[in-house]
Amino acid sequence: MTKFTHFTYKENSLYCENSSIKEIVENYNTPLYIYSYQSILDQYQLLEEAFNPWKNLLCYAVKANTNKAILKTLFNLGAGADVVSGGELSRALMAGCDPQKIVFSGVGKTEKEIESGIKNNILQFNVESEQELDAINNIAKQLGKKAPIAIRVNPDVDPKTHPYISTGLKKNKFGVNHKQALALYAKASTLNHLSITGISCHIGSQITETQPFYDAMVKIRELIDNLEKQNITLNNIDIGGGMGIPYNQEKIPAAHDYAQAIMTPLDGVKGTIILEPGRFLVGNSAALITKVLYVKPSEEGLLFTIVDSGFNDLMRPMLYQAHHDIIPVTKEATTKDVITNIEGPICESSDRFAKERKIPLQKQNDYLAIMSAGAYGSSMSSTYNSRGRPAEVLVKDNLFFLIKKADQLEDIIKNEVLPDFLN
Ligand code: LLP
């Protein structure tokens, strides 16, 4: 997989598709998220083709990027949604997702969220505990309905990724083990306001090997066969998300290889294979463009390149020590490479995008592109340090469209209330 097919240099100037990034930035200022529309279409098509031999449904994991233009792009292609909150459910519905293509995951669904899922006739709740199963049954009863459920199984497989984004090990809070799952299915079949529709699992994120998927599916298959013997038939086999993308030099399996690893153990199972990809679809579709504010040497001989974006805009490097390529928006033939830390303006030492990174020496007001920023970038941004979150632009060939305005101070403070006694 080529990393950034739709971010290329033309005469030393970085383009997104056929739009000049410098020109876009001059219209909207920095920091600025820039997305390639075509990149999302391409990634969707890759996955769709890989799973085409099997009856499947791609439920985009909304948490990766919640912008409604991105959601609409995917729903227009036929994607469903994997949501983990009432807010995500509402966003998916507002962006036109078919409720019968929505799965509701998450270890802590509230009563209100469950109610909303039932009222909106979603495809399935992925249930993570016995108490949640009871809660869904009770709420469905109050509403005079039957709620569709799958049990989320924790297959206890090491996804070999960052510990913060591993979810399928028995020490993780997610899902239930094999034995508990069997007990929950048995219980669910006795509850009048539930209908058993499937099984689900999700072992982690940014998984760059196929083996963990294979291992997890072997365990899921055992369970499916076991349930079949008890006459519990599953319509939906939800295998979760987690397929990785290249951020640095990682070798990533092709979509087809992920599909083989997942489907070999599931050979012959009836029902629809549901996937919940997030990062795979949008991760490499975007760059976060930032402006160089100052370049200063330290006493120890380090060089700091201070930029106008911080971890409030893109948290991944600070939170997971994640690598993101950082490249100049304009390459100048005469500029020498230097080793520099690329640091944000936030008042914390962890506010750093890269440590001792080799890039061409930057001048004040040059622009840098922080790559692979499409997933878990904007959706994890905050307003820490009272910094407004960046604007976002979607590029389609030589056209570009504002899809989110930057926060203004009023947006950040509008929900704060001053008690009378302080006036
Ligand atoms: N399904 C479930 C139940 C999930 O919990 C997740 C991600 C996904 C699907 C989508 O996973 P993906 O295909 O995007 O790997 N903030 C972290 C990633 C956290 C992922 C949480 N769950 C990061 O920036 O790397």
Instruction: Write the DSSP assignment of 214-236 as a string of letters.
Output: HHHHHHHHHHHHHHHHTT---SE
240 within ligand 1 shell (Cβ under 6 A): yes
- Sorted by where each begins, the domain ranges of the chain are 7-36+283-413, 105-277
End-to-end CA gap in the chain: 59
| Mean pLDDT along residues 237-257 | 96
Tens digit of pLDDT for each residue in 334-351? 889 999 999 999 999 999
Alpha-carbon torsion (261, 264, 267, 269), positive or negative: negative
Alpha-helix runs per DSSP H in 287-334: 316-320
Q: What is the mean pLDDT of the chain?
A: 96
> What is the CATH code of the structural domain delimited by 105-277?
3.20.20.10
206 within ligand 1 shell (Cβ under 6 A): yes
Peptide bond into 31 cis (omega under 30): yes
Q: How far apart are alpha carbons 278 and 402 in whole angstroms?
A: 22
Tens digit of pLDDT for each residue in 307-324? 999 999 999 999 999 999
In this predicted structure, what is the pLDDT of residue 300? 84
Structure tokens at 383: 């307003």
Structure tokens at 194: 């539930």
In this predicted structure, what is the pLDDT of residue 160? 76
In this predicted structure, what is the pLDDT of residue 43? 98
CB 135 within 8 A of CB 114: yes
Among 3-12, 97-106, 151-160, 278-287, the least confident range: 151-160
pLDDT at 45 > cutoff 80:
yes
Query: What are the angstrom distances between the C-alpha of 193 and each of 125, 134, 151, 201, 237?
Result: 13, 10, 15, 23, 21
CB 276 within 8 A of CB 105: yes
Q: How far apart are alpha carbons 376 and 192 in whole angstroms?
A: 39
Q: How far apart are alpha carbons 170 and 357 in whole angstroms?
A: 37
* Mutational test site, ligand 1, from 205, 245, 288, max ligand atoms within 8 Å of CB: 205
347 is catalytic: yes
pLDDT at 1 > cutoff 50:
no
In this predicted structure, what is the pLDDT of residue 170? 73
242 within ligand 1 shell (Cβ under 6 A): yes
Specify the CATH superfamily of domain 7-36+283-413: Lyase, Ornithine Decarboxylase; Chain A, domain 1 (2.40.37.10)
pLDDT at 174 > cutoff 90:
no
pLDDT at 243 > cutoff 60:
yes
CA of residue 362 to ligand 1 center, whole Å: 34
β-pair type (337-343, 303-307): parallel
43 within ligand 1 shell (Cβ under 6 A): no
Query: Given 16, 97, 201, 347, which residue is catalytic?
Result: 347
CA 288, 241, 397: angle at the middle one, nearest 5?
40
CA of residue 278 to ligand 1 center, whole Å: 6
Residue with tokens 């690893």: 261
Tens digit of pLDDT for each residue in 353-367? 999 999 999 999 999
CB 337 within 8 A of CB 360: yes
Confidence of residue 171 (pLDDT cuts 50, 70, 90): confident
Strand partners, 303: 297
